Structure 1
Amino acid sequence: MNDIQRFLAHAIQLEKESARRYAELAEAMDTLGNAEVAEFFRQMSHYSRLHQKEAMERGGFHDLPNLAADEYHWPNGSSPEAAWGHVNPGIDVLGAMSLAMHGEQRSHEYYQTIADETADPEVRAMATEFADEEAEHVVQLEVWQANLAKLTAVN
């Protein structure tokens, strides 16, 4: 991807989907009665909305870019965050963390691949920055998963 506006349009869509998925996970955790994990997912949804807003500002978009489905270039035909599918309302905490982890890993790989393959220095710099942010989210989820695994092992 060698056009900054096209890159940002993809980033905006990816972050929009990420915010929605995290909100779904928060609702599922509320239903499960796990307020702490629900709040973590709400926080992650908030971060996704901030990233979406940042991408819109950087691209000078006042509204979400309106690309047709065939104008997006996603790995395997869909956004890394759309690959989650719908969140099963009966999902348990570890399953929810696993879904979130896979989404963040796919998003990191997506941005990193663009950074590695683009010929445009502006796209490379921004894709690297976004990949680094996704890598931070992966680390946050790893910490949560490790702590939850310890709690599960104790109980």
Structure 2
Amino acid sequence: MKALKTVVLFLALVYTGNSFGQTKEETITWLKEKFEKCLSLNGTVQVSINECQIRITDTDNDVNRYMEYSFAPSDVSGIYRGAIEFNAKTFYISGRMMGVDYDKYQDASKISDYFAGFTIENKEENIQVRIITALKHLATFCPKKKQTF
């Protein structure tokens, strides 16, 4: 009888511990809402998110600008002065801004050249840290590519 109580207690604790974690869908919904609210882009912002890729579009018809930024949640390392920092060597940028067409992968070290104004504004308490935490959590749902060696 004591063993049965121990097993039931153990299962209850495991269930309780797992029930407080956010699901993939909850994380995606939350991130989409926060990006649309807190990104400091000048145009109309649209966000598309899945567990392996984030695509942010910024459209401003008044100045004939359309930019699309694409990166993996796992490539985000943190925030520096409100701007998203990346681990990866590259991220994808395409569109048209100030008469210049972009359609290429860019070196993340030159991010300030292309992401001017692409910051997360402090519209909520600790929102920058919370977004980075959510991105790292979302990255755990992306299946890892199996490599032969």
Please, what TM-score do these two structures have when normalized by structure 1? 0.28
Q: Structure with the greater relative contact order (CA < 8 A, sep ≥ 6): 1 or 2?
A: 1
Point out the structure with the larger helix share: 1
**Structure showing greater Rg:** 2
Q: TM-score, normalised by structure 2?
A: 0.29
Structure number with higher strand proportion: 2
